[in-house]
A and B are shown apart, each in its own frame.
Chain A
Amino acid sequence: MRNQVLRSLVVGVAAAFTLAATAGHAAPPDKVALSGARIITVSGEDIPEGIVLIESGKITAVGDMNVEIPYDAMEVDLSGKVVMPGLIDPQSWSGLDIANESQPVTPFLDVYDAMDPSRLFFEESLRDGVTTVHVSQGHNTVIGGQTRVVRPIGLSVDEMTVAPRLALKMSMSPRSGYDRMRQIATFRETFLELDDYLERLAEQKYEEKLAAEEKKMDVGPAEARMRGKELITDQDYDDAHANLIRLRRGDIAAWIYVANAMDVAPAIKLAVDEGFLNNTVLVAGSEAFKAMGELKEAGRPVVLPEQLMYRERDEVTGEIEEFFLPKLYHDAGVTFALQPNPNSSIAERYLTYQAALCVRNGIPRNAALKAITLNPATMLGLGDRLGSIEVGKTANLTVYSGDPLDFSSWVEHVYIDGILAYDRSKDPRLKELLKAEEKNRQDAAAKEAAKAKAEAAKPAEGEGEGGEQKEGDGDGNGGDGNGGDGNGNGDGGNGR
């Protein structure tokens, strides 16, 4: 239905975006100098007015106005604006067609197969200043599929990929239809089965070796397994087990959803038992904060829920108690990342607003900004190349019209890998949304100018002029509205 039309429009827009980067030139400029803006590095102090040099997609210099700009760099004047590292969405399944599979244990799946680059979600992310998205499956699973870090621009998943097969999404909170006993039992079963499989595989490998040498089985099963173990190579593992082995080895991270406080301890125990605690990130639900002691002790970073203010109603008194979650985590010293809240219709859908909420509720500004940039970058194992404006890092930068935490500021430009990926002045969707505002300002300005002119020329006939101008103005407005929507509703301007 509506989605079809949107799809083709968005693919076109996405194409336009990628084209914009190359518009008018053979290739985007290799060297870019962003000059004159206030630079929020996140990793260090703000630079009130400075220069960021980009070369071949990387940041090569950050400093004040004395930074030397190469003669062949394209200089972009950003006076009056603010530059910040591109924002990072720590986990989302909006880029997928469906959040979860119906099977409980699916470590062989990869979001690569389900990701749709034309989804409006990616366009929206870009518009909101997000340069990196961690696409993962939803919470409704036991062990889900592999996740992927992407940039929200590109016509194919390969083009978009920043880091493939980054983590396995898991949930300690029961998936639909399961109770907690069954959920945890499924985890146990899975790893027991893995051990079993490895034993059988070892035995099988030894048998194969003997068969190749045309020998007969010469030892008991236990010894055969021991000898066969050394013969196993990575190619031998089947899809169902390969990623679980990577998990144990630490080659793939574990992102575990814990909705409630009682899910935290089992999740940590699982990670400890199977040896992947150091690669674990916890995705917390609203109530998980009640196990703050355990979270703190585990020392793992946490992705906070979308709704930052948790409200609990006392069933007896009816009193509502409020908890601002980031403050609780901050005070406990737990590293956290924020998520956008797409359920909010106005403001919480922006990561910068979520950060503003943190500041409003007592968290230092830099800590709040880190929670939407450097912290998620580090959690994704990409802290060496993303999340702050430092020499050597990827040139993912967002330019704001004002302070990023000021809701009246707009995202003006977004650079991804040093290429201009988004330009608000050319954003067709925003233009449409704000169209009348532009036109009205122009009309108002024209009206003022004409009025002034008329008053200067004919001082005696002020009244009539004003009336006529109003008519003209009305026509202009009406025509615009009708033309825009093609309603054909016969609004002949002022006939009604």
Chain B
Amino acid sequence: MTIRRTLASLLSSFAALAATVTFATTTVPASAEDLVVRAGKLYVGNGQVIENGAVLIRDGRIVSVGASIAVPGGATVIELESGTITPGLIDANALLEPDDLISREERIAEPRAKEDAAEKFHSFLKELRGGEGDDHEGHEHAAMEWVACPNPTMHATIGEHEICPLCSRPPVNVCSHCGEFVTAGQEAAEAFASGVQTNYSRTESSDEIVPHTRVLDSLNLRSPDFKRLIAGGVTTVFAAPDTAAVIGPRGAIIQTAGPIKSRIIKAEDAVQFVFGTDSFRVGGGNQSPFGNFVTVRTRRPNSRMGVVWVFQKAMAETKRSMEGGEGFGIDVPEKPALDVLAMVLNKEIPVRVHARTLTDISIALEQCAEYGLTGFTLLDATEAYKLTDEIKAANVPVVFGPMTQDGGELINRFETDDYRLSTPRTLIDTGIPMALTARDLREEDGLGRQAMVAMRAGLTRAEALAAVTITPAKLLGIDKEVGSLEAGKRGDVVVWSGEPFDALSEPAVVVVGGRVALDRRPKQN
């Protein structure tokens, strides 16, 4: 809801404004697209803090920032005396929800959905049993017979009262009489994968090497996920792939609101390498090169060394292809993939590497060094605190997170328990550029709250702000466009209801490219 003033009230508002915003000596010519955003405090994003600061945005770009700026006639003014202004937040490793029918989970309206699912589930079981008797008193639990599902990983992770959307069968490990979970079947389930749900629309599982695909092609730019990002103050994201492939799709740098044309800053950016166990834990299950039915025995790779091998094979094939040679063996990447990798080796396309553990980060450093891929960006990096010197020496910036609070028995950390809440502090103190990310977490776990946790763990507000604005901007190579409130940059502004990242504060107004994407002030009392 934007505040639009009619022409008739312009003069009076102009006069009123004169009382609150002092004029500069130079006047700025008026324009219909002018927007002035003012608040009690303004964080420029370069360390500077301005009391009663305001920013003038014209045609989507910042014209001026200061304590006293000229308000052109006809300009829309948005102010929140008790609030603060920061640059729009930037998530450098966001995992977006495509929001098509295949991927959509009914997390919202939970009770209704669960009820329907439960109903469906139990009538399905009844059918299987051929009729009555869902009272399991006095019977032995009997686990479902394992029936082949085209996606065992996905199947193993569906919830208690759900049906697999692929094969329309219930989970392996439920009693066919009463639907309760049974431990016997759990092993069967675990044999196929652990934990993470596949999202069909955004996981390309035909091959481990898919840098010729683009995340942008699987995105729904009208997905409600963007509204959730906006509500969290995030105005620009690197839309990253998940970690299902060893060499994954190329991500895109996009804004979270505005006309579609101006939203895409970079349609295809960096390629992602994944070291560690994610490529065989996440995603559709690795495919046998023969296109055979996938079981535990034919799936590949399923070890860290397998992952490294797949990576090195791809690199070797790329080099061979660049020299005009023929591919060797059955698992040669597709030609378009080899072309993209050739550009990577020629340093025409940047590289991002996902690695969590000490081992995997070391492997990442080693492998990239071997192929001359310096200056890559390290993602997740849970155990980065264990080898800060090596990371620093390799000039590698880090996108750290998402952060969780360790110690709670209900928290599930992948691949390592050696989590340190102090890692952001460590990285900054060692001089390693560090950006925070919320990945696919939103609302009270979103990017602004990642910054809140970082502050609790020892970062100053200025450091936390930098980690979600200018540092990711620089890291993504878009710091001329976004990351701070400076003339010439895009008009991406967040007005917080209090101090940024405080528990009692939240984004009240979000502006992207000079357009108001969210305005929910005032809310209380």
Contact = CB atoms under 8 A, between A and B. Distances in A.
B325 interface: no
Given A346-B403, A496-B390, 18 more contacts: A103-B137, A176-B179, A287-B112, A343-B410, A346-B405, A346-B445, A357-B444, A359-B504, A361-B524, A406-B502, A407-B455, A408-B456, A433-B421, A434-B422, A436-B423, A436-B426, A477-B385, A489-B362
A311 interface: yes
B126 to A, nearest CB: 11
Closest 9 pairs between A and B when the two form their complex, measured CB to CB: A437-B422, A362-B524, A481-B386, A345-B404, A356-B503, A120-B409, A407-B503, A474-B389, A313-B108
B523 to A, nearest CB: 6
Nearest to A103: B137
Contacts of B179: 176-177
A104 to B, nearest CB: 9
B524 A434 contact: no
Nearest to A471: B389
Interface string B115-157: 0001000100000000000111100000000000000000000
A312 B109 CA distance: 5
Contacts of A477: 385, 388-389, 426, 430
Contacts of B443: 309
Contact of A342 (B408, B457, B458): B408
Interface residues of A, number: 69
B452 interface: yes
A434 B111 contact: no
A349 B502 CA distance: 16
A320 B108 contact: yes
Interface of B: 106, 108-112, 118, 122, 134-137, 160-161, 178-180, 224, 227, 358-359, 362, 365, 385-390, 402-411, 417-423, 425-426, 429-430, 441, 443-445, 449-450, 452-453, 455-458, 497, 502-506, 523-525
Interface string A422-456: 00000001101111111011011000000000000
A171 B64 CA distance: 60
A491 B161 contact: no
Given A361-B523, A429-B407, A347 B108 contact: no
A2 B421 CA distance: 21
Nearest to A10: B409
A490 to B, nearest CB: 10
A250 to B, nearest CB: 31
Interface string A118-146: 01110010010000000000000000000
A59 B455 CA distance: 35
25 contacts: A119-B409, A177-B134, A260-B111, A286-B110, A287-B111, A342-B410, A346-B441, A346-B453, A347-B444, A347-B453, A349-B405, A353-B503, A360-B503, A360-B504, A408-B456, A429-B407, A430-B407, A433-B406, A433-B421, A433-B422, A434-B458, A477-B385, A481-B385, A487-B386, A489-B359
Interface string A74-99: 00000000000000000000100000
Interface centre among A102, A347, A353, A494 (most CB of B within 10 A): A347
Contacts of A259: 111
B418 to A, nearest CB: 5
Contacts of A94: 409-410
B386 A482 contact: yes
A34 B118 CA distance: 53
